[in-house]
Amino acid sequence: MTTNIHVLAWPNLDERIVASHRSVMEKFDLEVGYCRDQVRHGEWMNHVMAESRADVVGFFDADCVPTNRAVVDYAISYCANFESFIGIAQVSNHIGLRSHIFAGPAFLFIWRKVWEQLGKPTFSEVSWPIPADVAEHFSYAAEFKLKRYKTLYPTHWEREPTTGVWHLHTYGIYGIGTHFEKGVYHLYEGRSEANIDLFERRCREIVEGTFSTSGMKSSRDEYDGTIAP
């Protein structure tokens, strides 16, 4: 069984983000292909899936890293064992139903043949039949055909986004610097200068083996904005 892992890092992305990301991947001995082109996220994913011949295709955002090697191995095994896909749980709070939990593109591993079996659905944003964000239509396509897949839910988060915390429908909330079950850390908004220091620090902790969710806010607790970010 073969696996390829891909990361899209736009040319204008701060090199500190890319360097921190590489340090974590090297720590866990993960071979990654970095794309530094200015291309739309969904279109790039479409291209990768069309060109790949690997059994499992993995995607990471440039500001999303594993906190351990086991979560990547688990994702790959899940894809192979269930011939399906797995990703971090996400909700598009700005479009569509605002309640649809899907496998987000920041950490997404796919059994390539399931993409083919589903009719090679696009990973680009769509407006019909249901408005969907990047990769969301792919999850909808699986649901329409009753194909089960898995999402990893957030456990903790660190900073409130400028637009306010994001709601994962009825489950809980997440924000800047979110940790997901089994060990995925997604900064979100890595393009913001204000968050680069946080990502650098967390990646350094992962490499040093000192990363912890201690001091972070629980995704399951209510949040009224009174807790200092």
Rounded to whole angstroms, how far apart are CA atoms 80 and 74? 10
At 176-226, the pLDDT tens digits run 999 999 999 999 987 778 899 999 999 999 999 999 999 999 999 988 765
- Domain 3-218 fold is Spore Coat Polysaccharide Biosynthesis Protein SpsA; Chain A (3.90.550)
Beta strands 32-35 and 173-174: pairing type?
unpaired
Beta strands 184-186 and 64-66: pairing type?
antiparallel
Predicted confidence band of residue 12 (pLDDT cuts 50, 70, 90): very high
Confidence check: pLDDT of 228 > 80: no
Q: Which residues contact 88 (CB under 8 A, 6 or more apart)?
A: 64, 103, 104, 106, 107, 108, 151, 152, 154, 180, 184, 186
Q: What ranges do the domains of the chain cover?
A: 3-218
pLDDT value of residue 164: 87
Query: What pTM was estimated for this model as a whole?
Result: 0.95
3-state SS assignment for residue 20: helix
At 107-149, the pLDDT tens digits run 999 999 999 999 999 999 999 888 999 999 999 999 999 999 9
The answer to whether the beta carbons of residues 85 and 111 sit under 8 Å apart is yes
